[in-house]
Amino acid sequence: MPIPPPARSRGPKPTRVDPDQLLDAAQAVFAIDGLQGASLRAIARRAGCDPALIYYHFASKEAMFEALLDRTIGPVVTELLGLCDSRDPRSVAERLWLIVGIYHAHLGSNVGMRGLVRGEIVRGGEAIQESIAKRVFPALGAIGQLIRQGIEQGEIREDTSPLFTTFFLVRMELEILDLIPVMAPRLSGMPGDLAVALAERAWFRLFWRGIATRPEEALPFLPDIEEARP
């Protein structure tokens, strides 16, 4: 006697919707509508799937935003924790410069996520602001600890605030990534990538001279960048 085929289940199946595909769609929708104005239906439409399929991976749009934070900030935290380890033999100055490179590597091409996080910090609800703070705290804490190492080892002035120095270092790097690629070609005719590299180097020199106990010392680890004039 032939075996009847299994009954077809109702509702959407957990088909091959990649979570990263959903997160990419969510990031695009959040960038346009903000977290508060976004909907799972709009995210599903962007991803090309049924809205119900999102629930196989994420409980809510807030959960998707938190997953985006983890995907973006998590690798930054991992690298910073290793770089700021007190057993690292390199100078504090060199490691602070490498922090600039870490942020550039992970956030330099992610314009949408930078703008999204900035917008939610300024305009988001308290729960979202707490969620962002929870995820950035390990990164900022690691940098602050590195600055304390510099104070203890005599590289950085004792009157330096680890908290605000961390803020100035990271904030200016994010401003460079946001503004220089757009404005430098228009204001100077300089290619955006070159302008970013020059701006990062110039900013770090200024930053370091403001906190160093011996600001006149050379920084041999800084790159030698050929400045192309228009």
pLDDT tens digits along 183-192 = 999 999 999 9
Quick one: pLDDT at residue 3? 55
Residues 6+ positions from 157 with CB-CB distance below 8 Å: 151, 211, 212, 213
For residues 119 and 57, is the Cβ–Cβ distance under 8 A?
no
d(CA 205, CA 215): 9
**Domain 15-58 class in CATH:** mainly alpha
Quick one: pLDDT at residue 123? 84
DSSP letter, residue 179: H
Look at 159 and 8; give whichever has higher pLDDT. Answer: 159
Quick one: pLDDT at residue 124? 81
d(CA 18, CA 54): 10
pLDDT at 230 over 60: no
Look at 9 and 70; give whichever has higher pLDDT. Answer: 70
d(CA 183, CA 217): 32
Quick one: pLDDT at residue 17? 82
Q: Give the domain ranges of the chain.
A: 15-58, 62-211
Q: Which of 28, 180, 48 is nearest to 116 (CA)?
A: 28
Q: Which of 101, 120, 110, 104 is nearest to 23 (CA)?
A: 110
- Range of lowest pLDDT (118-122, 139-143, 214-218, 225-229): 225-229
Q: Mean pLDDT, to the nearest integer, of 23-52?
A: 94
pLDDT at 215 over 80: yes
pLDDT at 2 over 60: no
pLDDT at 229 over 70: no
Q: Mean pLDDT, to the nearest integer, of 160-167?
A: 97
* Helical spans, DSSP H, in 61-215: 61-83, 92-107, 111-123, 126-152, 162-188, 192-211
- Model confidence pLDDT, tens digit, residues 102-141: 999 999 988 888 988 988 988 888 899 999 999 999 999 9
CATH architecture of 62-211: Orthogonal Bundle (1.10)
Domains 15-58 and 62-211 share a fold: no
Predicted confidence band at 219 (pLDDT cuts at 50, 70, 90)?
Answer: very high
Predicted confidence band at 212 (pLDDT cuts at 50, 70, 90)?
Answer: very high
Q: Mean pLDDT, to the nearest integer, of 137-158?
A: 97
